[in-house]
Amino acid sequence: MTDTPITGGCACGAIRYASTAEPTFSLICQCRQCQRATGAGHAAALVLPADAVTVTGEVRFFDQQADSGNTVSRGFCPTCGSPMLNRNSGYPQSLYVHAATLDDPGGFRPETVVFRSAAQPWDHVDPDLT
């Protein structure tokens, strides 16, 4: 637990979230679904315990079948379209938060890179991360 909650929100401010717990994990995902969802080369996300997160505002979810067979629900702001919070049916206790939605994204430290095989040639991430 942390004294200072982790907070963030979407571009228009309609959705805000706060977590009383520290992230349990952090990652970069270069899969094609994350490329399309973010419009960039990869998603950068931290994992928070879902029961420690309070969300205000209406998050709309788009459900997608992942290669693992799990359902990934991609949460975004219906007003400004910002990708925000994802859920994965295989990990119902976790909430995946896009790192750049944090009020203070500078402290984000990805621990791993997944789906590097799907990376675009122009998308360079830290080669030391595995």
Toward Zn ion, which CB reaches closer, 34 or 95? 34
Q: Is 84 in the site for Zn ion (CB under 5 A)?
A: no
Q: Which helix (H) or strand (E) holds 64?
A: strand 60-65
Report if residue 97 touches Zn ion, rule: CB under 5 A: no
Applying the rule CB under 5 A, the residues between 14 and 43 that interact with Zn ion are: 14, 29, 31, 34
Eight-class DSSP state of 34: H
- Piece in contact with Zn ion (CB under 5 A), picked from 60-68, 74-82, 98-106, 121-129: 74-82
Phi/psi class of residue 65: alpha, beta or left (left: φ > 0; alpha: ψ in -120 to 50)?
beta
User: What is the C-alpha separation between 25 and 82, in angstroms, rounded?
Assistant: 22
User: Number of residues in contact with Zn ion, rule: CB under 5 A?
Assistant: 9
DSSP for residue 74: E
The reply to whether 10 sits near Zn ion by the rule CB under 5 A is: yes
